[in-house]
A and B are shown apart, each in its own frame.
Chain A
Amino acid sequence: MKGRTAGITAATLLALLLLSSTTAQATPPPVSEVSIDGDVDLNNRVRYAFQTVPESVKYDIYYSDESFNNLSEIVPTASSVSGFPDAWIFVSEDPADDPSIQETLKFFRCWWSPTIIPETLATDFQVEEGWFEPTFSTGMPVIPPDATSVVCDLPGIVRGQEVYVATVAIDEDGTSVTEGLEVLSAITTAESERPPDPDMTRVYIAIGVIVGGLSLTAIVLYFLSPSRRERSGYLFVLPAILLLATLTFYPVGYGIYLSFTDESAENYGEGEFVGLDNYELLFSDERDYDGDGDPGFWRTFTFTLIWTFGCVIMHMLLGVLFAMLLESGIIGKVAWRTILLIPWAVPGYISVIMWRGMLNRFGWVNGILTSDIDYLGLDSWAKFSVIFVNIWMGFSFMTMTTSGALAGIPRDMYEAANIDGVGRYHRFRHLTLPQLMPALVPLSLLGMIWTFNLFHVIFLMTGGGPDRFYGEPGVTDILVTFVYDVAFIDGEYGLGAAWSVIIFLMLIVFSTAYLVVTKAGEVDG
């Protein structure tokens, strides 16, 4: 099948695993203890297999960091929040019929088989003959009633912790059925993005060439330099240039080279030159998994634009507004500035995770507003939340810098305007704004470039999700987060590199256009 599975074949470190299963005659339900240790993939997944029970319509899977002693402890108040399982699989003949599917769930992968019952799971479990992927109805995996066993990758396992997993089968009446349900095995998938040790000589040579070449150039220039005094500059500057070249320019160059190969985690170190194949693939139908005519690129691109402009425009608007407020003669200016500094001061990853907690369906925001909205799980809301959080994180920086710029505007100009009787709005538009432009333009450009490639907010907030369809970008995926998925989860290094080059080109074009337009604007104004 696809290269997806290829990622699984990456080298792994096996984790210790304790497995106990009891036949489910009566409660307690079958529970497997799995301890995840060592090298776990970035999505912290556990591969899990269980035997199905006839007559069930749904399988709920729960995780906990404490042992499940009694099923009633779990349902409905499982380790996850208030009765919601961490994963579930539906059983139905015709998945399109199922009306109860309204919720969304963190996407995970599974396979079912009507014939095979695996005894153990190898880490390189392949979807071979006899295994099928379920159909997906709005993101829910649905398997037919004649499946005998299920293998799934459970997401959301915490590294370095013991985890207990429980499966509960639910029948038509809504009661739990565990008789006949057997946990077969569980293992960490440990999809490591770390490739095996390939032939490193290529890299050594390249680095050697760069370092040697630059040093040589520097030496030559040194001796050729007309001025004995000025040439010392080479000595001072060389270390920094070397570092920069080796660790920035070379990787970029290498990335560009990669984009023309079919390098991936499978054939690591053996990638061959394939020309523009990767670029074609980006836009081709081959990657259009959900059949909407768009291989994922345009959707992600659109949202990236919305994300970038939405965030930066609001940043600047709020920044200027609040800076003007701060500079307009208020009591306790220093205190207010300090308070407004906090969103910028708090480390980014902490802010994101905190907002994630607050915007959770059962989090604080819903509590205070007494509403019940899944901010991170519904499509439009997820987009809004992600942008909102980034705005929160960034406006204070804009406020501070604009504040500094405002302080540099001569005051007597405003007095003259006062005498002329110029109103507040016009004062801002014709006097303040033009004076701010020299600072705002580069700031906004920097902001846009930075936001365009901002990784950690979306990654830690929604992971790019909610994921609707496997292989397609999630709803809040921007270009860089999806590139990350392609390159590290799917292990398609060449393809990922091609994505990156495209993004880079876009940025260059955009920056140039932006600078041209604003410089032109300056001349006119």
Chain B
Amino acid sequence: MKENLAVRWWTPVSLRAVASFGWISLMIALFMCAVSWMRGDESGLTTAFMVVIANSVIVFILPEDVPARPVPEKFALFLVSGASMTVFSLSYIIHRADSSVGLTLVDYWTAAPSMLVGAAAVIAASRSSRWFMGKASTEEALNGLARSRKHSGAIIQTAKQIVLIHLGIFAILPPLWTVMLSLSPGNSLSMDFSISTATLEHYEKMWGSERFWGWFWNSIIVSVATTIFGLTIAFPAAYGFSRYRFYGRKIGLFMFLIVQMFPGALILVPYFIVMKGLGLLNTYAGLVVAYSVTALPLCVWLMKGFFDTIPRELEEAARVDGCSQMQIFSRIIFPLSLPAVAVTCLFSFLAAWNEYLLALTFLSDTDRYTLPVGLASMVSSAQAGDSYWGDFAAASILISIPVVLLFITFQRYLVDGMVAGAVKG
């Protein structure tokens, strides 16, 4: 072991931190460019671009470990880039402040990281000049390493949380907007949301709207029926495939697999005609049957996979005891496969609840409309009709909340189910 081992393996934690946060500020700086471009703000774009360049230098130039030889040029670059970042970000802010629109939240958000990271880079570099020159002493290195150990955890965690916050905002932006829209007075798209003017008028309107509840009950009926009907058909089928080896079993399973590849839109017309032939158009039954068929392959696969893991000895013991098939189903198989059944039910229910295309095609009476079709008809294809946005937003929230809550409660099962299905499929 060499004596300067510690020195060899030490990078000042401040520089590492700057580089880590530098990634975040780089992404945001790129966004700054995009925003400027979208605004048609050319000089802003140029400034933003300079920030991106300076930022990139910082992120890519940091030597991984102690430089093998003194690298004054990297030191200088680091300092210069850091300073440039700060300066350019500042000028961006000033430029925006002068513009007709003035400074907005977005400007602060895009410029602040670069400013901060740039300043931090300058400070960190000047404090680590000896390190760049390869002149750090062993003691410095040991202290530095100890400090790294102590702080790097917190630094990395902070960086991750910042990324997560951005991610979270990205994820909830539309729902957030919808909530705000639903609480704003008036039905127009260009809303003016503020706490003082928040109103529940849209909620009241939707809550009191017979049409809305009509759609709602239609959806409930169809979805629950789909779940029950689907389960009734899929459960025995899965059991049959799992427990029995009969000629044609493989073919049968294969059929289920292939069917997953038929997309609904493709077979719409023939589907429609068949439904018409069976007299099932514009009826609950028609939708229920159609949805059940759509969900069938997945349900069968999921439950079959689960049944495969239940040992046969249990059933054989029951048969020896004299149980009938139905009793075996209800007392042994069903309770043991509850997780799979639950996931299946959830999938079927949600598939029916959220389905748009088939409902649109099959239903002609407006009072038969399920929620998706009804809701979509509120907004239809008007380019910017401001007639119903507020009401629509309120209805959306009312519909989404139960679904989201369901999802959250059962998220683990859903994910496991999908993974199992995907990997097996």
Direct contact between the two chains A and B in their complex (CB within 8 A): yes
Is there an interface contact between A159 and B381, defined as CB atoms closer than 8 Å?
Answer: no
Q: Do residues A203 and B274 form an inter-chain contact, with CB atoms below 8 A? A: yes
Q: Does B276 contact A (CB under 8 A)?
A: yes
Interface residues on A, range: 35 or more
A221 and B357 in contact, given A158-B377, A453-B266 (Cβ under 8 angstroms): no
A84 part of interface (Cβ distance < 8 Å)? yes
Q: Does A319 contact B (CB under 8 A)?
A: no
- Would you call A416 an interface residue if the criterion is a C-beta within 8 Å of the partner chain's C-beta atoms? no
A442-B425 CB under 8 A given contacts A252-B262, A371-B38, A480-B266:
yes
Most buried by A among B273, B281, B354: B273
Q: How far is the CA of A318 from the CA of B167 in the complex (A)?
A: 11
**Is B106 positioned at the interface, with any CB of A under 8 Å from its CB?**
yes
Taking a contact as CB atoms under 8 Å apart, the answer to whether B289 and A345 are in contact is: no
Pick the interface stretch among A170-178, A299-307, A333-341: A333-341
Smallest Cβ distance from A170 to chain B, in angstroms? 19
| Residues of B373-407 contacting chain A, CB below 8 A | 375-389, 392-393, 396, 399-400, 403-404, 406-407
B-side binding surface: helix, strand, loop or mixed?
Answer: helix
Decide yes or no whether A314 CB sits under 8 A from chain B. no
Residue from the list A200, A251, A401 in contact with B267, Cβ < 8 A: A251
Q: In the complex, which residue of chain A has the Cβ closest to the Cβ of B275?
A: A247
- The distance from the CB of B202 to the nearest CB of chain A, in whole angstroms, is 14
Interface: B323 (CB within 8 A): no
Q: How many A-B residue pairs have CB under 8 A?
A: 348
Q: Which of the segments A1-9, A16-24, A121-129, A362-370 contacts the partner chain?
A: A362-370
Cβ-based interface call for B361 (8 A) = yes
Docked-complex contact A233 and B240, CB < 8 angstroms: yes
Contact of A404 with B by CB under 8 A: yes
CB pair B246 A233 closer than 8 Å:
yes
With A86-B385, A368-B105 as known contacts, state yes or no: A347 contacts B354, CB within 8 Å: yes
Instruction: Please state if B277 and A207 are interface contacts (CB–CB under 8 Å).
Output: yes
**Minimal beta-carbon separation of A80 from chain B (angstroms):** 6
User: In the complex, which residues of chain B have a beta carbon less than 8 angstroms from the beta carbon of A244?
Assistant: 255-256, 259, 293, 296-297
B92 at the binding interface (Cβ < 8 Å): no
Task: Report the Cα distance A1→B210, complex, angstroms.
Answer: 44
Residues of chain A lying within 8 A (CB to CB) of residue B157: 330-331
Question: In the complex, which range does the number of interface residues on chain B fall in?
Answer: 35 or more
- Chain B residue numbers with a CB within 8 Å of A511 are 261
Contact call B237/A453, Cβ cutoff below 8 A:
no
Interface residue? A92 (CB, 8 A): no
Complex interface: stretch among B78-86, B132-140, B408-416: B408-416
In the docked arrangement, what's the CA distance between A504 and B263, Å? 9
The answer to whether the Cβ of B322 comes within 8 Å of any Cβ in the partner chain is: no
Cβ–Cβ contact B381 & A463, under 8 A: yes
Partner of B293, one of A157, A237, A247, A446: A247
Task: Find the A residue at minimum CB distance from B174.
Answer: A354
Is B244 a contact of A236 with CB atoms below 8 Å? yes
A358 to B255, CA, bound (A): 42
A230 and B274 within 8 A (CB): no
| Shortest beta-carbon distance from A112 to chain B in Å | 23
Nearest-neighbour CB distance to chain B for A159, whole angstroms, equals 5
Decide yes or no: A230 and B244 within 8 Å by CB, A80-B383, A480-B266 being known contacts. yes
* In contact, A200 and B246 (Cβ under 8 angstroms): no
- How many Å from the CB of B397 to the closest CB on chain A? 9
Determine the chain A residues whose CB is within 8 A of the CB of B101 once the complex forms.
370
Cβ of B21 to closest chain A Cβ, rounded Å: 15
Q: How far is the CA of A192 from the CA of B276 in the complex (A)?
A: 15
Is A233 in contact with B164, judged by CB distance below 8 angstroms? no
Query: Within 8 Å of chain B (Cβ to Cβ): is A39?
Result: yes
Cβ–Cβ < 8 Å partners of B296 in chain A: 240, 243-244
Residue A234 at the chain B interface, CB threshold 8 Å: yes
Check if A155 is an interface residue, CB within 8 A of chain B: yes
Chain B neighbourhood of A105, CB < 8 A: 383
Contact A349 B172 (CB under 8 A): no
* Contact across chains for B404 and A353 when beta carbons are under 8 A apart: no
Question: A459 to B388, alpha carbons, bound, how many Å?
Answer: 19
In the assembly, what is the distance between CA of A360 and CA of B157, in Å? 37
Q: Which of A204, A349, A460 has the most CB of B within 10 A?
A: A349
- Asked if B265 CB lies within 8 Å of chain A CBs, one says yes
Contacting pair B265 A362 (CB below 8 A): no
Please tell me which one of the listed residues A237, A246, A392, A404 contacts residue B416 in the complex, with CB atoms under 8 A apart. A404
* CB of B239 closer than 8 Å to a CB of A: yes
A514 within 8 A of B: no
Instruction: Identify the closest chain A residue to B103 (Cβ).
Output: A370
Say yes or no: A368 contacts B106, CB within 8 Å. yes
Inter-subunit contact B177/A358 (CB<8 Å): yes
The answer to whether A369 and B400 have CB atoms under 8 Å apart is: no
Chain B residues near A358 (CB-CB < 8 A)? 173-174, 177
Q: Contact: A157 with B380, CB < 8 Å?
A: yes
Q: Would you call B106 and A369 a contact (CB within 8 A)? A: yes
* Across the A-B interface, the 4 shortest Cβ-Cβ residue pairs: A233-B244, A236-B240, A203-B277, A453-B263
- 9 A-B pairs within 8 Å (CB atoms) are namely A39-B364, A80-B383, A86-B383, A231-B246, A254-B273, A255-B269, A341-B408, A404-B419, A511-B261
- Give 10 new A-B contacts, CB below 8 A, not counting A197-B276, A252-B266, A500-B267: A80-B385, A159-B377, A231-B246, A243-B292, A346-B175, A369-B39, A396-B171, A443-B422, A455-B264, A488-B269
